[in-house]
């Protein structure tokens, strides 16, 4: 009996399964994040997207909206873990009007989206990798 090395084929099948799993997992998290995102102008909600890097086998779900981090973690007196600016501050809005604020409370949507879909993501992994 001659030994046949199938390791390259096995690695390729695992890589394809991982890419498929990452894509489906990102779609699940993105969909839940869109449902959970707070809406003022809908800019944040509409900007949530995902990227899967098949070469690195990494998936990302997020947004490029500059204020998204402040929505997720809060600001000022209300910032998560007490990490915000204390004492309030003044700012000027685009119309030229001045405002005073203590900050905004966190309205997490990305982390809860992952937590709420974690069971489905794990089930996907079992299903997809079980086929390999």
Q: Which of 10, 16, 29 lies closest to 55, judged by CA? A: 16
pLDDT band at 19 (very low <50, low <70, confident <90, very high): very high
DSSP state of 48: -
Q: Which of 28, 85, 83, 94 lies closest to 61, judged by CA? A: 28
Residue 83: pLDDT above 90?
Answer: no
pLDDT in tens, 41-62: 899 999 999 999 999 999 999 9
CA–CA separation, 18 and 34 (whole Å)? 24
Amino acid 3: pLDDT:
87
Contact 50, 29 (CB under 8 A): yes
The label of the residue with tokens 């992952």 reads 114
pLDDT in tens, 91-123: 999 999 999 999 999 999 999 999 999 999 999
- E strand or H helix at 122, and its extent? helix 110-131
User: pLDDT averaged over the chain?
Assistant: 95
pTM for the model: 0.86
Quick one: tokens of 13?
């099948």
């Amino acid at each position: 009996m001659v030994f046949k090395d199938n390791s390259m084929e096995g690695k390729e099948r695992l890589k394809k399964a991982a890419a498929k799993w990452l894509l489906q997992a990102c779609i699940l998290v993105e969909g839940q994040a869109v449902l959970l995102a707070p809406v003022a102008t809908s800019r944040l909600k509409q900007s949530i997207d995902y990227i899967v890097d098949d070469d690195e086998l990494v998936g990302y779900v997020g947004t490029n909206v500059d204020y998204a981090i402040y929505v997720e973690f809060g600001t000022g007196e209300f910032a998560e873990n007490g990490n915000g600016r204390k004492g309030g501050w003044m700012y000027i809005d685009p119309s030229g009007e001045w405002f005073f604020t203590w900050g905004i409370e966190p309205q997490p949507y990305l982390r809860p989206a992952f937590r709420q879909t974690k069971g489905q993501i794990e089930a996907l992994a079992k299903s997809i990798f079980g086929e390999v």
